[in-house]
Each structure stands twice: as structure tokens, then as C-alpha cells.
Amino acid sequence: MPTMKSRLLSLFLIVTLVVAGGVSIASAQDDRQEVTIWHYWGDTGTNAETVQKFKERWEASQDECSLTIRSIPTADFKRELSTAILTGNTPDIAVIDNPDFAMFASQGVLAELDERIAEWGQADAYYDGPWSSTMWNGHNYGVPVGSNTLALFINNALAEEAGLDVSNPPQTWDDLMEWAAALTNPDKNQYGITLIGERNETATFMWLPFVQQTGEDIDSLDSEGGRAALQLYVDLVENGYMSPEVVNYGFGDIPGQFMAGNAAMMINGPWVINSLKAEAPDLEYTVAGIPYPEDGQPANGLGGENFSIFANSDVQDCAWDFITYTQAPENIVDWYAGLGFLPSRDLPEEQTTLWTEDPNMAVFLDQMQYARARGPLPNWPEVSEVVQLMLQEALTGQMSVDEAISTAGPQIAAMLGR
């Protein structure tokens, strides 16, 4: 029979082995090179779940690297990143909104990726718009995370009530105005259309395509086309077809207006479709292309983000490995779908069915051919702020359309060195 002494000795050995084994496992994990990634997609929801899933899958695919994720509120992201640059405490990877990318690349804080990309051999697979947003002074500093663009959402039931045929949605600005008028019903607190007019980058993102549809652009804002694009917005508000509160509407506001029937149409992106399914599963709607002037041309905004690696990162090989892991053929559809993105690159036909077989997503995919990147300009945020203020002043009646354009146009021209 074992003595008390032998029992204690056995117990000691077991505990020692367990502790040693635990230390060994922890040491193996600690031996991994830690990659930090910052984004602004939130800590909850499908985007956060997708990033977490890819972290776990990537870590399981190799034994050299690990990923630490930090989400920063959108409103604070650029400030936090700029502070990190000043203090030298940058992440290894940052997800940067494509119009802001040139600002950071021009500061010399991002790692140049030319050699890695040449060795990777995938650059030619990406569409020109998304890929151009990763370039600065002829060099590449990033890889597109994914892309999006805009479309017109129409409430089918409200359109039917107004005698409108959603199978023939508005094609021109005149059509849009007619539809907005027909869909406006003050007795029901129902506006014809809503969009984002809050003073932020998304307001510029939504409005600039209307300028580009006239043949003008950010560098020729003080023009007949620039005035026409601003007048379109102002007319929608002044005619009562769009709420004057649109100047306060952001991402979180307009889907609620649309789902509640307070706006019969909205301009929005593919990211909202999952929310509509979850929060208004019985709502039937049609997605259509963005109307453009009868004598104009289709144009749309290019949204999306780019991966970047910071030049002072000590784990650039691991950071690059995670980025290319998300873009691998066996992973990329899950990546795009989980984040609500459209492809930034050409894919085999069998990998595009998620978008081509869904009539709503197919519209966004079609609109991508007209999507244009904002910039790239190192001072794009300042340029965009001028546009945002101009929209606010015109939509609130503080300035006429002519005054607002005549003020903003020369300011932007000076910023562009024109």
C-alpha cells in the first residue's frame, strides 16, 4: 500500500508536470510574433465577427505569428492614428479609408510594398480604382481590403401606392425629382428620399458623384456642373422631398428612416443590406443605379479601405502574411462577404455568384464600373471638409447655391495648387 509520503510525492510530480506543460504551451504562444491591427469596424456585429474569425483561422494556419485586434470609433480613428505616429506607437497594420490613404503615405510612415507585391504577383488582378488608391508617387503602400459603392434603394410598397413602377426605376435627375415628388406624403410624415448630409466624409462620398456625372470634378467645382449638382440637393430639400434634418443624418440614421417608411427612397451602400434583412425582414425594396443627368454620364463613389503596414513595424513579414491570407483564393469570398464588401479584384466566375445571383448585389457590382476614387491627395481630408461645410451652408439656407460654390471652389483650387 502506498504511504502518505509516496502519495504526496506523486501528487507533486503530477502538479509539476501540469505546470511545466502549461508553461510550455504558454511559451509556444509567446514565441509567436504579435501583429497588431487597428480598424474602425466596431467590436460587435458581422464585421467584428469576420475579423475575429480570420484571426483564429490565420493563427491556426501557421505557428509563427499571432494577431491582436483593436477597434477605434470612426470619429476618433484618424486622430488616434496621427497621435500614434507622433509618439512612435503605431500598429503593425492599419485599415485606412481609401481617400485618407495618400495623406498617410505622403508622410513616409507606411512601408513601401513594391518588392513584396512584385513577388506576390497579384497586382494586375485588382481593379484600377481600388488599386490606384494604394499608390503614392509611383510606389505601392497597401492592398485593398475591399470595395463598395452606392445605389438607390426604393420601398416597393410605397412606390406601388404612388403608382410608380419599380421595374423601371428613375434613370435621370429629372426622373429622380419626379419620383421624389410622387413619393412625398406630408400627411404620413413621408419624404421622397433621404441620404447622408451630416458633416463628415460620407457626405462628400455621396455628393461628389453627382458632380462627376456632369463631367466636372473636385478640381473644377466652381462650374456649371458643380452648381447643378448642389442645386439638385437643395431643390430636394426646398421642395419638401427631402427632410431638412438631412444635414444631421449619418450612417445610423438613414436606414431607420427608410425602414420606418419616413423616406421612400435612400442612397446607401451594400453594407446596409445585412441590417435591412435583420431589422426589417418583411420590407420589400428595389436597388437601382444612381440617376445621372440626361446629358451627363454615369459616375459613382468608390468606397472601401486599404491595408497598410507601418514602416517602423518589427513584424512586417507576419503582417504581410496576414494581409495576403485574407486575399487568398480560398479565403477572399468569405472575407468580402463577412465585411459586406464588393470585390476589389477580378475573381473567377464561380466565385462571384454571391453578387451576381443576388439582384440587389448585382446592381452594386454593375455600379463598380463607374466608381471613382477620391483623390488621391495628401490633403484630401482638408479638401473634403470644405465640401462638407459647403453642403451644410447650402442645405440650411445660410448661403445660396452660387454663393456656396463660389466660396468653396476657389478654396479647393488653392489647396490643389491651381
What secondary structure does DSSP assign to 231-255, as a single string?
HHHHHHHHTTSS-GGGGG--TTTHH
Whole-number Å distance between alpha carbons of 300 and 210: 8
**Domains recognised in the chain with CATH numbers:** 28-148+303-372 (3.40.190.10), 151-301+379-415 (3.40.190.10)
Element (H, E) at 387: helix 380-395
d(CA 374, CA 380): 8
Task: Tell me what the pLDDT averaged over the chain comes to.
Answer: 92
pTM over 0.85: no
The contacts of residue 157 (CB under 8 Å, 6+ apart) are 284
- Per-residue confidence (pLDDT) for residue 25, from 0 to 100: 41
Instruction: Report pLDDT for 418.
Output: 76
Partner residues linked to 371 by β-bridges: 300
**Mean pLDDT, consecutive 10-residue segments, the chain of 418 residues?**
48 46 47 96 88 98 98 90 97 96 96 98 93 95 97 99 98 99 98 96 96 97 98 99 96 92 97 88 98 97 97 98 98 94 93 94 93 90 96 98 98 92
pLDDT value, residue 375: 83
Query: How many separate helices (H) and strands (E) can be counted in the chain?
Result: 18, 12
Q: What pLDDT, on a 0 to 100 scale, did the predictor assign at position 13?
A: 45
Res 274: pLDDT: 80
336: closest CA among 44, 46, 65, 29? 46
> Nearest to residue 288, comparing CAs of 212, 193, 208?
193
Whether 314 contacts 90, CB under 8 Å: no
315/67 Cα distance (integer angstroms): 11
What digits encode the pLDDT tens for the residues 282-316?
A: 999 999 999 999 999 999 999 999 999 999 999 99
| Amino acid 345: pLDDT | 93
Query: According to the model, what pLDDT value does residue 197 have?
Result: 95
Distance between CA atoms of residues 228 and 215, nearest Å: 11
